[in-house]
Each structure stands twice: as C-alpha cells, then as structure tokens.
Amino acid sequence: MEKNYDVLEFYKIINNLIDLARLEITKDKFIDTNILKSKSELDKEMILMQEFIDYYKYDDGLDIVNISNIQRHINSIGLIGSYLSSEELVDLKKNLVTYRISRSRTKNVRDKYKASWLLFSDVDDLKDIEKYIEDVANDDGTLKDDASIGLREIRRQKYNINGNIKEKFDDIMSNKDLSKAVQEKLVTTRNERFVIPIKTEFKALIKGIEHDRSATGSTVYIEPLNVVSLNNKLREYEAREREEIRKILLRVTELVKTKKDEIIQIKEIIERLDHLNAKTLYSLENDCIVPKIINKEYLKLVEARHPLIPKDEVVPINFELGSNEKIMLITGPNTGGKTVTLKVAGLLTLMALSGIPIPVNEKTEIGFFDNVLADIGDEQSIEQNLSSFSGHVKSIKEIVEKANSRSLVLMDELGSGTDPMEGSAFAMAIIDYLKEKHIMSIITTHYSEVKAHAFNTTGIKSASMEFNVETLSPTYRLLEGIPGESNALIIASKYGMPDDIIRNAKSYISEDNQKVEQMIQSIKEKNDELEILKVELEKSTSNLEVQRKSYEQKLIEVENEKNDVIKKAYEEAENYLKEMQSKAKNLIDRISQDEVKKEEAKDAQKSLNMLRESFN
C-alpha cells in the first residue's frame, strides 16, 4: 500500500473491511485496494454498492456467511486420479447452497436490484451437485452410513465387532480375580489396537500381547489374547471402509468434475458477493452512503466525518473546492483540527474512489482524481538521519514530481521546520507552482505571510479553523473565506500576562503583519455579522413558510366549505323538483278524471316539462 495511504490511515479502513470478510481471497483483495482507474468501472461499483445497501435496508440483504475457500478444491479435481475429501465436498456444498439461495432471493427482487441480479443471471445454481453431496456427506464432513450399500454393511460389521471387544474387556474388569490387576477401568488404544492398562506386578494374570509401558513403568498396556482376533477383524473392516469411502468420493468427484466450469464461475461470484457484503456491512455500521462521483477536479464535502473517530466525538466538516478556486489554504491554531480536516478530505476521497461508501451527507460530491498525494506529519526516515525540514522537502519533492492536474494534493504545515521567513517564502513558491499547474490542493499553515499571500491571490480560497478566545479552545469548525487569526497574544493576555509585556510583544510585530491581522479581524467580524443575518433570515424564512402553509390550509377549508354549500343547494333543488313533479302529476290525474279538454291537459304537461328543464 502506498505511503500516502498510510499517512491518511487508509490501512485502518482496510483492516475494518478485512475483519468483515469471510474468505481469505477477499481479505487479500482488500489489502490490494486502490483507486479505480476507470470512471465507468467506479460507477458500476457504486451502483452495486447502493443496491446492496438498499437490499440490506429494505429487503434483509443476502446471507453471505456459510461459505468457504474452495480454490484448492477446484485445483484438485483437475488432477487425474485425485478426488475431494468429504470435508472438501461439504465446503463446496456450502458455497453452492449459499449461491442458490442468494440467486433465488435476488431473482425475486430483480426489478428493484437490476445490477445485483446481473451477478447471477448468467449462471444457474447446481442443485443436482448439492444433492449428490448431501446424499453422501454429513455437515460435519463425515460420510453417511447409507452413502453406499457396501459402506452401510461394513459399518454394521464394525459396530458388532466393537460391541464384542467391549464385552471381552467388561468381562476382565468385572472378574473378581482379574479386576485387581487393572490399573484403571478404561479401554484405550496402542498401535491402533484396543488394550487395557494393567498393573505391572499383575501382568501375568492377563494373557496377551504387551504393546506399551507407562513412563514410570508401573503400568503395562496389554491386548488380551481373546481380543486379538477381534482387533484383527476390526482392522480388516477399517481397511475395507477406507477403500469404500475412496470409491464413493471418487464417484462424487467425477460428478463434480462435469460441472467444473460452472463451479469456477460460482466461486468467483461468491468471492464478489463476499467483497460487496463486507463493504455493505461496514457502511451500515458506520452510517456511510454512496457519494456522487463527478468527472472533474472538484470536491464538495457536506457533514463529512472522519470514519475512525466515533460519531458522537467528531465535528462534521463542510467545504467546497474546485468551482472557482483550485487551492484552499487552511490556517488556525495547533490542535485546532487542521490536520484532521486534511485527513478527512484525503481519506474520504481515497475511500470513495476505491468504491467504498463514506460517512457524509448525500449532497457530497467527489471529483474523479487519478491519485491522492499527501505530506502530513513527520515522515522523514530516521535511518537516513534527515532533519525535520529535510524530510518535509523530500516528501514535497516526491509530490511535485507525481502530481498532475488530475491529482488531489494535501500538505500539512507547508514550510515548517525551518526559519519562518524562508519557510514562508518556500510555502508561497510551492503554492504558486501548484496554482500554475492547476493542481487541486489543500494546504495548512500558521505563517502570516502565507495567509496574506493566499488572501491576495486569485484562485486560492482562504479558510480557517475556528477558535473560541473566550474559552481558549478550538471549536473544530472549518470557516471558509476567512483566514485564521494569530491568537498567541490574545491567549497570553487571557492567562493574565502583564499588559506591558503584551504591548511590547505587539511592537515587535511588523507593520505588514499587523495589517494582515487587522484585516483578518475585520473579515471575521463582518462574517460574524453575516452569520447573525443568516440566522435571522433563516428564521424569517421559516416563519414565512409556516404562514404560507397556514394560509394554504385556510384556502383548502374555504374551498371545502364552498363545495358543501353548493352540494346542499343541489340537494334542496332536487328535493323541490321532486315535490313539484308529484304535484303536477296529481293535477294531471284530476284533470283526466274530470274529463277536461285535452288541450288543457297538454298545457299542464307542457308546464311540467318547463319546470323540469329549469332545474336541469
């Protein structure tokens, strides 16, 4: 793993993933983790990662636990005359069962997890091979008695012989004359023969073959003569059993060979599933998401956390770099979080570009960089007896030689370890070089000259780690657009240093540096004012939103009330119409009964029709 990865503690993330993997080959793959060179390859990996995370969250995911390394088994079945042991067959069956269940479950949800289904779609399960193995082998790796008719008969004979041997030994241990010779009432083995421990002074009482003596000589291990023939028979049947087992295993292995190509494919898919599963479990345990990867030099971190720091102990980081500026200079006090910020940016970028989800907000965007180059901490070689600054320069030289416009460069305390004036000049020259080469960089410093240079140079974003001068402690918040203040004299004053010493110290600060600090103070005050206005604006916006929703609700209520009034009016009109129809019908009936003229009846009918139309 590259030195840059070590500096960013990427190996610790890899170790976490290794702990979650089941197969040795997967663990080895994690050790070789690197930035994916193809954007399309990374996109495919991230689509799969998102599906696996969703699969676990919403559909219980896949159970990739009961699996084994079977590469050696596959190598064995390719050799003439070789066969798999019963334990190896069980290992193979575990993988086949896991594959079959995983394939079946994913097939049922293939419309939701299309990329995941593509892992399985071209390779059917091998249920027939599973059954062959299931028919002959127990899960503990032993062969079943009914693996063949011959094996069942051999084991029956062995069982009977063992019973006869036990009876012979029981007779000895229960015999009053012979039991006194027995050192301990147990049957053991020597040279693969059943024997009994006898006291040396009584060995003449037991006729048989002496196979061994204890270290003290007080015990001899004797195979009684009446057991010798039974032991011989037992050895004979054990040899038959081994031969029958060999035949069974050879037969099943030949069946397995017919599906060797499919088994190799399934093995590779299982390894892929183990790899994806480990990353998914890590993501769920650490509240990680799949970030958006964009094909340009850009970095936008939103609520980014260091994955190796407990969530409740870390202050999330927010910043954006690459839209207008390529370089960000972070200033602030020591132990204020500058180095952690560098590591968060570098580590999360490395993780994302290696296909590993990261602990950020979904609005985060990671640019597709070729590499991440870092100079963080004191990395000089003690054996080479390099000074702190020499080691610093050596590391920066390596970065400058490797970096290109597709690199992300991280430099901690650039120019430190030497005379401040020369260190500042060196830092500014490096910054100018990186800017000229369009290399995206995040750099930390505490030199005032470097702060002023960055602030006055276009294309460089100033930022600082916030420091609370009241509590004399860092807040670990990153403030974009604001260079860090020099707090040394403020802290000294807070701790009660005499005013005349403070005034004298200020007199030694150059006029230019004083102007820089005054400028920074002015910017910070204006930023604080803007923050207050921002909070007030957000509060006002929130109140307006509440009022808007209230008015919308009232409009809905008025609309509902209007609809109720209209509905009621229609109902009343309909009732009135029915009433008038009834009266008109009665009138016509009476007219007919009184034998009035037809013309009058027609007029009545006409009036009725007009009345009906008026309500339609």
Nearest CA-CA partner of 163 in 234, 223, 241: 234
Ranking 221-235, 438-452, 486-500, 573-587 by mean pLDDT, the lowest is: 573-587
| Predicted confidence band of residue 46 (pLDDT cuts 50, 70, 90) | very high
* Dihedral pair phi/psi, residue 490, rounded to 5°: -65, -45
| Predicted confidence band of residue 518 (pLDDT cuts 50, 70, 90) | low
* pLDDT value for 493: 80
Report CA-CA distances (Å) from 35 to 119, 370, 408, 409: 22, 7, 12, 15
Exposed (0-12), middle (13-18) or buried (19+): which is 60, by Cβ within 10 Å? exposed
> What's the half-sphere exposure (Cβ side, CA atoms, 13 Å) at 409?
30
**Are 431 and 541 contained in the same domain?**
no
Condensed to tens digits (0 to 9), the pLDDT of residues 296-319 reads 999 999 999 999 999 888 889 999
CA dihedral 362→366→332→404, nearest 10 degrees, is 180
**Are 334 and 215 contained in the same domain?**
no
Q: Which CATH number belongs to the domain containing residue 443 in this structure? A: 3.40.50.300
pLDDT at 470 over 80: no
* pLDDT value for 172: 83
d(C-alpha 391, C-alpha 174), whole Å: 84
Query: 296 in a domain, yes or no?
Result: yes
* pLDDT value for 69: 94
CA dihedral (61, 66, 69, 74) positive or negative: negative
Query: 18 in a domain, yes or no?
Result: yes
pLDDT at 473 over 80: no
Ranking 176-190, 480-494, 587-601 by mean pLDDT, the lowest is: 587-601
**Are 91 and 219 contained in the same domain?**
no
| Predicted confidence band of residue 527 (pLDDT cuts 50, 70, 90) | low
Q: Which of 148-162, 386-400, 573-587 has the highest mean pLDDT?
A: 148-162
| Predicted confidence band of residue 512 (pLDDT cuts 50, 70, 90) | low
* pLDDT value for 482: 75
* pLDDT value for 384: 42
What type of residue is 186? L
* Number of separate domains in the chain: 4
**Are 301 and 385 contained in the same domain?**
yes
d(C-alpha 184, C-alpha 221), whole Å: 11
| Predicted confidence band of residue 389 (pLDDT cuts 50, 70, 90) | confident
SS3 419: coil
Q: Are 483 and 464 in contact (CB under 8 A)?
A: yes
| Predicted confidence band of residue 380 (pLDDT cuts 50, 70, 90) | very low
Task: Considering only residues 154 and 331, tell me which one the structure prediction assigns the higher pLDDT.
Answer: 154
pLDDT at 43 over 90: yes
* pLDDT value for 124: 96
Instruction: For residue 570, give its domain range.
Output: 535-614
* pLDDT value for 345: 96
* Domain final residue pick, 509, 524, 558: 509
**Are 359 and 402 contained in the same domain?**
yes
* Domain final residue pick, 204, 237, 270: 237
For the segment 552-568, the average pLDDT, to the nearest whole number, is 80
Query: 253 in a domain, yes or no?
Result: no
d(C-alpha 587, C-alpha 567), whole Å: 31
Q: Are 412 and 342 in contact (CB under 8 A)?
A: yes
For the segment 103-132, the average pLDDT, to the nearest whole number, is 96
**Are 485 and 547 contained in the same domain?**
no
* pLDDT value for 523: 61
Report CA-CA distances (Å) from 111 to 49, 104, 117, 276: 16, 13, 9, 19
Q: Which CATH number belongs to the domain containing residue 11 in this structure? A: 1.10.1420
**Are 353 and 463 contained in the same domain?**
yes
* Domain final residue pick, 509, 524, 548: 509
**Are 84 and 214 contained in the same domain?**
no
| Predicted confidence band of residue 511 (pLDDT cuts 50, 70, 90) | low
Query: 503 in a domain, yes or no?
Result: yes
Mean pLDDT of the chain: 87
* pLDDT value for 588: 66
**Are 270 and 355 contained in the same domain?**
no
**Are 413 and 558 contained in the same domain?**
no
Instruction: List Cβ neighbours of 143 (8 Å cut-off, separation of 6 or more).
Output: 86, 136, 137, 151, 245, 248, 249
| Predicted confidence band of residue 64 (pLDDT cuts 50, 70, 90) | very high
Ranking 85-99, 252-266, 595-609 by mean pLDDT, the lowest is: 595-609
Residue holding tokens 């790796």?
141
* Dihedral pair phi/psi, residue 166, rounded to 5°: -60, -40
**Are 37 and 104 contained in the same domain?**
yes
Which two tokens mark 394? 């050596």
Condensed to tens digits (0 to 9), the pLDDT of residues 180-207 reads 788 888 888 898 899 988 888 888 888 8
* pLDDT value for 540: 80
d(C-alpha 323, C-alpha 340), whole Å: 23
* pLDDT value for 392: 83
**Are 226 and 271 contained in the same domain?**
no
pLDDT at 576 over 80: no
pLDDT at 39 over 80: yes
Query: 84 in a domain, yes or no?
Result: yes
* The Cα angle at residue 462 between residues 457 and 464, in degrees rounded to 5: 155
Query: 202 in a domain, yes or no?
Result: yes
Which two tokens mark 16? 């976490």
pLDDT at 15 over 70: yes
